[in-house]
Amino acid sequence: MSQLQRITINNSQIQETSIILTPQQKHYLLRVLRLGDGDKFIVMDGKGKWWLAQLTAEKAHILEPLEVKTELPVSITLMMALPKGNGFDDIVRCCTELGVTYILPVLSDRTLLKPSSQKLERWQRIATEASEQSERAFVPTILEPVSFKTAISECQINHRYICEARGEYPHLTKVINNSLPEMIIAIGPEGGWTDTELEIAIESGFQPVSLGRRILRAVTAPIVALSLITAIHEV
Ligand code: SAH
């Protein structure tokens, strides 16, 4: 299937066996990819479903649903303190490749900037492109940035972990197993979590965990955490 091009659509674009293409998607398929009558491509709804589709007279027709093998059996929410500069772009791209389900950007005590709404759109676009590139069936959702306290207090997920670079905490791989249906993992900014943040998180049921003995950069830590989680689920 790897040779076929992929596009992501909204479920509302499906009408029985046809797909109502947006002008941008038509442009992409016909002009950018230069697909013509009879050419096949993959349509993904970003929520786990894939179909094989065919172009006929500039319209897309669904031929058959496709089986997806690229998704993890666990839903992972990455709660990530916003790092400086464009670091978040790389986090969104890499964590999408690694299988993240949701990314929740948080404003922590040591995070200075509040991102603009264009940033959110940009991250969502990066997630969509990275999902297509890594042949995922699911496009992670980038949630609206919220304050650390809101994120912690509104968290509904049972299995909660907060990564802390210092202190004698158990390694992430010692506290998770491959039968958790969902989990949230929190990673701090360049300056780290404040003691108060760590306390609040622990009081709210977050288990502090280590990712190893070295201090990782804020951009590296989520990649390591996601790699460890995928290893536990896929090896
Ligand atoms: N400046 C801080 C480190 C911040 S690293 C200090 O010197 O302590 C940014 C974030 O990455 C941390 O808040 C933590 O969530 C995560 N992190 C980095 N290295 C880690 C490690 N070895 N174990 C667990 N979390 C780590």
187 lines ligand 1 (CB under 6 A): yes
213 Cα nearest atom in ligand 1 = 22
Residue 42 or 201, more confident: 201
| Segments making up each domain of the chain, as ranges | 6-66, 75-233
The residue contributing the CA closest to ligand 1 atom 18 is 216
pLDDT given for residue 1 in this prediction = 47
46 lines ligand 1 (CB under 6 A): no
105 lines ligand 1 (CB under 6 A): no
Task: Ligand 1 pocket test: pick from 197, 209, 216, 224 the residue with the most ligand atoms within 8 Å of its Cβ.
Answer: 216
* Residue pLDDT, tens place only, 137-178: 889 999 999 999 999 998 889 999 999 999 999 999 999 998
HEC profile for the chain? CCCCCEEECCHHHEECCEECCCHHHHHHHHHHCCCCCCCEEEEECCECCEEEEEEECCEEEEEEEECCCCCCCCEEEEEEECCCCCHHHHHHHHHHHHCCCEEEEEECCCCCCCCCHHHHHHHHHHHHHHHHHCCCCECCEECCCEEHHHHHHCCCCCCEEEECCCCCCCEHHHHCCCCCCEEEEEECCCCCCCHHHHHHHHHCCCEEEECCCCCCCCCHHHHHHHHHHHHHHHC
* Residue pLDDT, tens place only, 88-118: 999 999 999 999 999 999 999 998 777 888 9
What is 75-233's CATH superfamily?
SPOUT methyltransferase, trefoil knot domain (3.40.1280.10)
The residue contributing the CA closest to ligand 1 atom 6 is 192
Average confidence score pLDDT of the chain:
93
CA of 42 from ligand 1 middle (Å) equals 39
What is 6-66's CATH superfamily?
Hypothetical PUA domain-like; domain 1 (2.40.240.20)
* Residue pLDDT, tens place only, 36-45: 999 999 998 8
* Residue pLDDT, tens place only, 30-80: 998 899 999 999 998 888 888 999 998 878 999 999 998 899 989 999 999
162 Cα nearest atom in ligand 1 = 15
